[in-house]
Chain A
């Protein structure tokens, strides 16, 4: 038999439901106070530093990390609940999301103690924003083609080169980036890249915003010119970043953010069709809800496996593949179903605006954080085909 895929029916434990109520109450207060409008995912300014601090104060950042670093030692399933409630409410999570999901865990694993003690508590308080410096102008999916150089100098490294498509670099306090410390070897083309912690907003770093087809400016070009990074900002093994990448993918790839990005159009469609939908609308909605429910079950199952200390890399890649393809198609399916909705329905304008934004957002969903093609390659490897 092929190595069997596992998606055990994991249920959220009772403490999660209590937490969910707290998160919903908190978000309702924030909405009432005007922090954000849940019906408007297309707002131009998605940065909300004060909101980020209030989320930190609630104890919802660094939830699974050790208490000595400001964390809360709660479960992945509890973090899952916070993440999905924030996403469904269209809360402005931009400032803290990357640090909480990805950068913090990398620091926990690879940073020296002094840096952990300095930065992790600030992530937990919602004070610092992180960016991820992976792609370069000629190195996207082919991560190991990165050329931005880190040259050894007294007490550290000098960085020269350009990162691109770097989300949030314009507001980020830190970036975790990979730079080339050695050329690749004949035996291993992945050799020679090292992971670094970079303090942003300093001379030697220039951040150039790049406009997106949605009208937003979320990603950037980041140019490094003789930028100095101290020795203790090396994360993990010099020349060995490739060994560090894979185990984190399961965290990054299977969360609720991988299928809920355009969820809001489905809610609004249900509102527009009303309590007694025609057969066509009912069938369309029913199918979409069944697909959504299935993906959430898969995603919760992966979270449960992570909590149990497993590394379900293939399962996580499957969740992201299916989830992103679905959330990309969702606005188009909703548009189909909305074609015969009464244009005088009270939320018609909201739905139209949301559809317009979601349709423009859709193309990026199967590109960011690992393209569909890369994911299917990983799944194929897991099946024993490569």
Chain B
């Protein structure tokens, strides 16, 4: 889909440009930018993009929602937009109406499991839940005796230990100690933890790819301004080749993430082909965050290492996002197991499946 035809993405882009300017946010030590940004996003219906209108959302397509996340990545947006979108999407799987306000999802890590007890209460602990402290509600995927369920929980009913990710955003541990959900319904047939993690992973992949686009942009700009040895540093071949490699990492992240998003948007299930797309995106985008971010910092020199400069807003968030919904190491093992189980002669047919 061409972006010019995507009014949802354009709306998001405009809100970010007006209310999520990196320089402004970087100077604002008190976080005064957060409330107006969230309000504008909410008024535009963006946090509930993936929620059908009959469940309280704005009923945008999967593709439109994914393009909002790309834009959010380009601005390194640090409000629970992706998290609320994911929560709304999870709740919509079982037609639970999304409440107003910030939400997040749990579990957000492959090792964590939340149990649905016989008395309909939830027990367990979820680590690394992004923006739990900021959320009013949490959408939970829980394991019960009868299989998986999807529940809507009030964040205030849970014990939340605050933490921060590499980018300085909330990344908390949520403990469910016999918490009674607002609503709970059995998950649809075929829906599992992988579906939630892969969906979250693709969201993070798009955000990382977006952040890399911006890192490339500001690094190219800086290299064309900064003078050393009596010429712009962009004229040095060593710098040019570094930036060419950053462009390559940015391109790889963009291609992997948008392809995975497109695969999910056009598939009715999380089959092997979608698994390949989504897991690959998370792996490759995480690698690009490391390699590309390092080059962006190298080009900027010491100034890029200061808290005053905006580069860290992108570079550290991209690195932090690697850890959410399964790291690249986790997905590499899972993808490797899948490939091995299918057998050597089924590798190429999988890669060439679309």
What is the interface of chain A, defined by CB distance below 8 A to chain B?
1-2, 4-5, 7-9, 11-12, 20, 84-85, 88, 263, 266-268, 270-271, 273-277, 279, 281-287, 289-298, 301, 314-315, 318, 321-322, 373, 375-377, 379-380, 382-386
16 examples of A-B residue contacts, CB within 8 angstroms? A2-B217, A7-B255, A20-B352, A267-B345, A270-B343, A275-B343, A277-B336, A287-B287, A289-B280, A290-B280, A296-B352, A297-B256, A298-B251, A321-B244, A322-B248, A380-B243
Whether B250 sits at the interface, judged by CB under 8 Å, is yes
Residues of B within 8 A of A8 (CB): 258
Assess the B283–A287 pair: CB atoms within 8 A. Answer: yes
Q: How far is the CB of A317 from chain B (nearest CB, A)?
A: 8
A111 vs B221: C-alpha distance when bound (angstroms): 43
Closest A residue to B209 using CB positions: A7
Q: Of residues 233 to 274 in B, which have CB atoms within 8 Å of A's CB atoms?
A: 234-235, 237, 239-241, 243-245, 247-248, 250-252, 254-256, 258-259, 261-263
Chain B interface residues (CB < 8 Å from chain A): 213, 216-217, 220-221, 223-224, 234-235, 237, 239-241, 243-245, 247-248, 250-252, 254-256, 258-259, 261-263, 276-277, 279-281, 283-284, 287, 328-329, 331-337, 339-341, 343-345, 347-348, 351-352, 354
Give the CA-CA distance A287 to B337 in the complex, in Å. 11
For A380, the chain B residues whose CB sits under 8 A away are 240-241, 243-244
Across chains A and B, the number of contacting residue pairs, with CB separation under 8 Å, is: 176
Known: A276-B340, A279-B333. A266 touches B251 (CB 8 A): no
Q: How far is the CA of A367 from the CA of B331 in the complex (A)?
A: 33
Chain A hits for B261, CB < 8 A: 9
Contact of A282 among B251, B284, B332 (CB under 8 A): B332
CB pair A5–B247 under 8 Å, yes or no, is: yes
Given A5-B250, A286-B339: A294 in contact with B217 (beta carbons within 8 A): no
Can you list the 6 inter-chain pairs with the closest CB atoms, starting with the nearest?
A282-B336, A286-B332, A286-B336, A271-B344, A286-B335, A9-B262
B279 and A290 form a contact (CB under 8 A): yes
User: Known: A286-B333, A290-B279, A298-B251. Contact between A376 and B240, CB under 8 A?
Assistant: yes
B332:A283 contact, CB within 8 angstroms: yes
In the complex with contacts A5-B251, A9-B262, A294-B280, A373-B347 CB distance below 8 A: no
Residues of B within 8 A of A263 (CB): 348
Residues of A within 8 A of B287 (CB): 287, 291
A385 to B242, CA, bound (A): 11
**A85 CA to B336 CA in the complex, in Å?**
23
Tell me the complex Cα distance, A375–B284, Å: 22
Select one of A5, A273, A282, A385 contacting B333, CB under 8 A.
A282
- Chain B residue numbers with a CB within 8 Å of A384 are 220, 224
A294 CA to B250 CA, complexed, in Å: 12
CB pair B248 A318 closer than 8 Å: yes
A292 to B337, CA, bound (A): 16
Known: A4-B213, A283-B332. A385 touches B279 (CB 8 A): no
Docked pose: A219 CA to B146 CA in angstroms: 67
Whether B333 and A275, one on each chain, are in contact in the complex, defined by CB atoms closer than 8 angstroms, is: no
Q: Could you say which residues of chain A place their CB within 8 Å of the CB of B245?
A: 321, 376
